[in-house]
Amino acid sequence: MRDVAVIGVGMTKWGELWEKSLRTIFVETALLALDDSGVDKIDSMYVGSMSSGLFVGQEHIASLLADYLGQAPVPAARVESACASGGLALRMGFMDVASGMSDVVLVGGVEKMTDVSGHEATYALGTAADQEYEGFHGVTFPGLYALIARAHMEKYGTTREQLAMVAVKNHYNGSKNPLAQFPFEITVDSVLNSMMVADPLRVLDCSPITDGAAAVVLCTVEMARKMKKPVIKIIGSGHATDTIALSSRKDVTWLEATFQAGKKAYSMANKKPKDIDVLEVHDCFTIAEICVIEALGIVEKGKGGQAVEKGITSLKGKIPVNTSGGLKAKGHPVGATGVAQVVEIVKQLKGEAGERQVKNARIGMTQNMGGSGGSTLVHIFERE
Amino acid sequence: MRDVAVIGVGMTKWGELWEKSLRTIFVETALLALDDSGVDKIDSMYVGSMSSGLFVGQEHIASLLADYLGQAPVPAARVESACASGGLALRMGFMDVASGMSDVVLVGGVEKMTDVSGHEATYALGTAADQEYEGFHGVTFPGLYALIARAHMEKYGTTREQLAMVAVKNHYNGSKNPLAQFPFEITVDSVLNSMMVADPLRVLDCSPITDGAAAVVLCTVEMARKMKKPVIKIIGSGHATDTIALSSRKDVTWLEATFQAGKKAYSMANKKPKDIDVLEVHDCFTIAEICVIEALGIVEKGKGGQAVEKGITSLKGKIPVNTSGGLKAKGHPVGATGVAQVVEIVKQLKGEAGERQVKNARIGMTQNMGGSGGSTLVHIFERE
């Protein structure tokens, strides 16, 4: 296998982009990444998108986007693993370059979620759960994560305030990210007094509905060196699945797919949790971030809530988590999220993260998750 | 890159499977492939599905199917390129083994299309076209292929009867395939007198709506040899895209993505069109088969209709095309089609195709296409 580097990243402002279509959002973003990389010819491309069929009535989007990007006839593949579609696209691009099939690969993620009503968006997102055993009974994602939150509080004494602190931390980081959908701070009080969605989760515990895209360009490390580019290597890639239905798990507070994907990524990278300098994780709900940092071994099992309260994961903490603002403040265009995490980590490792820069960050990690944890992608990056 | 072999194939009876769900159809089929391969542990899996979101309200199906197959926590990825999703899944599995990431990979395709009304199915299939420039104006696939057919007839003198002969040939082959949805013969007269769909295409020019799945197991050639399995090598993989909208093409009778994907596959395999012994192509409409064999260089440009009339592509012809019955008679569960093509070619190369066996077949090819040709996957296989 050949060594693979990220040589360009691109992201545009996320939000409710009613004046733009899916193809516009993607092409603008992909052009930024190509521009950043300094290449204009790619060998293939991968697009992560969860449900362009239900959100905008368009499948076959990899071909569509290759066409609109002016890159046809290059091979273009759409990949999907619910909200982990972006991370999956990265893994496919990594494999493509590592295998020797392609030298330069564009990896993008995109979702246009606001062309449908809130009800329709909730239905579309719900298709990431087990439709026959969960969706059929009316359970949607806020409900599933509320069950996880309640169990975590019962089992480990995690407090309602600790959940809120995840959102407060991520909004603080997001306030320093001009591309974030909600670039402003919030307080614990405002979370605790926000509208109830699914007890104990309130609206400020939930990531929003977002339109947006993100893109990165991959090539061999050898080529990146020749181009005199800063070399950000992908040193670990882990991908794992778990039961899709929450009811089939032994312990709903434990994200087995995240644990397994993390294990593979750490082993491939020959790194340990303590080696990670900066980390982007899938905080679709505040409780998710707490469970994820536990499953990745960043903190002990059951100690995720306390870690946030102690500031361990804050911007100036021991291991800053979600410096971009996370899904909570940056936004969550589902298929784009996994790629946007890479954009943030690459910026951090290159020292280009502005006001939210983590000092001397050399090793970074991304964790991107589908459904209630039925699939997870973990990647580890190192600045050469 | 490591050499890759197909060591097992599986397919169940296709049709309107109202008593089975998507997950049941897939799992039954995958178990057949695993059984045929003699392995029970896989390292990863890929699932091709065009629109499980619109057809059955379920995304995230790779995780779902890994779970129901008892294979979680293995990495499981769904890939989509409209009706070429199955061929794309094969390419991803090939790359996974070739790169050294995985040793044993399950590649499947599945679509459950009859849980929605005919109107809804037509809408779902239409999402493979350009929704803003084609779908918006009410154009659906029979209409797009009717435009191609009309242009081909004008430009090359292809006759209405020649189109019918494609369907007649494929139904003859399909009558020898017990897993086909429509395993019976038809006549040129019955095609010409069948219901008009989009002039000049009649209902017997069109592939049907189908529920079904297909699966194959890949591993390294080295491992296949050690297992004393017949070694069916994947010696070429080509993937290309074209403009998604028909209106953007210079010549609507020419399938550029098929030409480009074929060129890459031939070059990688170091083979020429004349080396191919047996060929499965994407006959979603009769005209498609004619254009495809031209773009693959099997016959001269414009001579596809004549080739069918002369029997060149029939079961006893010089180069048998669609021995399985093709999409026309075997059925077309869109995401499964590209994988089912591989099932047929592997059976042919192993001499297990029963009444439809092509004598001494050693080199086979599959061509799987999305939309009106916006994406194409071509693979070449060789029996060692």
Three-state SS string over B149-201 comes to HHHHHHHHCCCHHHHHHHHHHHHHHHCCCCCCCCCCCCCHHHHHCCCEEECCE
The whole-angstrom separation of Cα A91 and Cα A302 is 30
CA dihedral sign, ordered B346, B30, B341, B62: negative
Hey, is the C-beta of B44 within 8 angstroms of any chain A C-beta?
Answer: yes
Q: Find chain B residues with C-beta within 8 A of A244's C-beta.
A: 60, 63-64, 67
Contact B64 A1 (CB under 8 A): no
Q: Which of A128, A163, A206 is nearest to A376 (CA)?
A: A128
B62 pLDDT tier (thresholds 50, 70, 90)? very high
Task: Confirm if A324 and A330 have CB atoms less than 8 A apart.
Answer: yes
**Confidence tier at A229 by pLDDT (50, 70, 90):** confident
Band the pLDDT of A150: cuts 50, 70, 90: very high
Beta strand B232-241 pairing with B4-11: antiparallel
Is the CB of A80 less than 8 angstroms away from the CB of B72?
Answer: no
Distance (Å, rounded) from C-alpha B340 to C-alpha B215? 7
Q: Is position A379 annotated as part of the catalytic site?
A: no
Instruction: Indicate if ipTM > 0.95.
Output: yes
Task: Check CB contact of B105 with chain A, cutoff 8 Å.
Answer: no
Tell me the C-alpha to C-alpha distance, in Å, between residue A232 and each of A90, A235, B2.
Answer: 14, 9, 26
Interface check A256 vs B, CB under 8 A: yes
* Alpha-carbon span A100 to A82, nearest angstrom: 28
Q: How many CA atoms lie within 13 A of A2 on its CB side?
A: 23
Q: How far is B252 from chain A (nearest CA, A)?
A: 16
In angstroms, the CA A287 to CA B47 distance is 30
Quote the mean pLDDT of chain A: 97
What angle, 0 to 180 degrees and rounded to 10, lies between the N-to-C axes of helices A61-68 and A22-37? 60
Q: Which residues are registered as beta bridge partners of A279? A: A321, A365
Residue A112 pLDDT greater than 90, yes or no: yes
pTM for the predicted model, two decimal places: 0.98
| Residue from the list A58, A73, A241 with its beta carbon closest to the beta carbon of B260 | A73
List Cβ neighbours of B132 (8 Å cut-off, separation of 6 or more).
A21, A23
What confidence score (pLDDT) does residue A270 get? 98
B271 CB neighbour count, 10 Å cutoff: 17
> Running DSSP on this structure, what letter comes out for residue A317?
S
pLDDT at A218 over 90: yes
As a whole number of angstroms, the distance between CA A187 and CA B298 comes to 68
Whether A49 contacts A335, CB under 8 Å? yes
**Domains of chain B, residue spans:** 4-117+210-226, 138-206+238-383
The yes-or-no answer on residue B83 being catalytic is yes
* Among A152, A171, A239, A332, the one annotated catalytic: A332
Select from A255, A243, A271 the least CA-distant residue to A304: A255
DSSP 8-state symbol, A202: E
**Which of B64, B71, B128 has the CB atom closest to A130's CB atom?**
B64
Q: How many CB atoms lie within 10 A of CB B300?
A: 12
Query: B88 CB near a chain A CB, below 8 Å?
Result: yes
Does the distance separating the beta carbons of A100 and B82 come in below 8 Å? no
Instruction: Work out the average pLDDT over B225-230.
Output: 92
Candidate from A59, A128, A260 with C-beta closest to B60 = A128
Does residue B380 surpass a pLDDT of 90?
A: yes
Question: Across residues B68-73, what is the average pLDDT?
Answer: 97
Closest-approach residue (CA) in chain A for B249: A67
Q: Residue A14 has which token pair? A: 């996320």
All residues at 6 or more sequence positions from A272 whose CB lies less than 8 Å from its CB, including other chains: A266, A297
Question: For residue A377, is pLDDT > 90?
Answer: yes
Output phi, psi for B375, to 5 deg. -145, 145
Active-site position among A60, A83, A282, A284:
A83
Torsion on CA atoms A202, A208, A209, A214, rounded to nearest 10: -160
CATH architecture of B4-117+210-226: 3-Layer(aba) Sandwich (3.40)
Does A140-207+235-383 match A4-117+210-226 at the fold level? yes
Give the angle subtended at the CA of B249 by the CAs of B246 and B255, to the nearest 5°.
Answer: 85
Is B119 buried (19+), middle (13-18) or exposed (0-12) by CB count in 10 A? Answer: exposed
CATH of A140-207+235-383, one of 1.20.140.150, 3.40.47.10, 3.40.50.2000, 3.40.50.300: 3.40.47.10
pLDDT tens, position by position, B112-124: 999 999 999 999 9
For residue B335, the Cα-to-chain-centroid distance in whole angstroms is: 9
Quote the radius of gyration of chain B (alpha carbons, Å): 19
Mean local confidence (pLDDT), A149-160: 98
pLDDT at B308 (0 to 100): 98
Q: Which residues contact A130 (CB under 8 A, 6 or more apart)?
A: A244, A245, B64
E strands of B163-254, at which residues?
Answer: 196-198, 201-202, 212-220, 232-241
CA nearest to B67 within chain A = A243
Confidence band for B229, pLDDT divided at 50, 70 and 90: confident
The closest of B90, B47, B131 to B343, measured between CA atoms, is B90
Q: Mean pLDDT across chain B, nearest whole number?
A: 97
B138-206+238-383 is classed CATH 3.40.47.10: yes
What pLDDT digit, counting tens, does each position of A42-87 carry?
Answer: 999 999 999 999 999 999 999 999 999 999 999 999 999 999 999 9
Residues 338-377 of B with CB under 8 A from A: 370-371, 374-375
Tokens (6 digits) for A193: 């007094």
The catalytic residue among B152, B282, B332, B379 is: B332
Q: What pLDDT is attached to residue A164?
A: 98
Over residues A272-282, the pLDDT tens digits come to 999 999 999 99
B197 at A interface, C-beta within 8 A: no
Model pLDDT, residue A365: 98
List of chain B residues whose C-beta atoms are within 8 Å of the C-beta of residue A96: 95
